[in-house]
């Protein structure tokens, strides 16, 4: 079995691995009800609507306690 003749540097190793660590932003869409950003094909976490119909009830957030 062949072996490397010389040691690869840490920089060279890390450059090779860098392609696997890229983060991709998911495609986002705008909710037609509340106009906030949400993931497509999912219930809006802000208003609870999906496809123009209420699916879940979102309770109003309580104001910060002083």
Mean pLDDT of all residues in the chain? Answer: 87
The token pair at 36 is 């906030």
Instruction: Give the phi and the psi of residue 37 in degrees, each rounded to 5.
Output: -75, 140
As a whole number of angstroms, the distance between CA 39 and CA 54 comes to: 16
Per-residue model confidence as pLDDT tens digits over 17-44: 988 877 787 889 999 999 999 999 999 9
DSSP state of 62: P
Q: Per-residue pLDDT for 55 more than 60?
A: yes
* Confidence (pLDDT) at 20: 80
Q: Per-residue pLDDT for 53 more than 80?
A: yes
């Amino acid at each position: 079995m062949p072996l490397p003749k010389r040691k690869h540097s840490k920089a060279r190793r890390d450059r090779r691995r860098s392609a696997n660590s890229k983060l991709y932003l998911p495609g986002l869409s705008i909710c037609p009800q509340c106009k906030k950003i949400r993931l497509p094909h999912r219930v809006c976490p802000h208003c609870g609507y999906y496809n123009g119909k209420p699916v879940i009830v979102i309770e109003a957030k309580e104001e910060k306690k002083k």
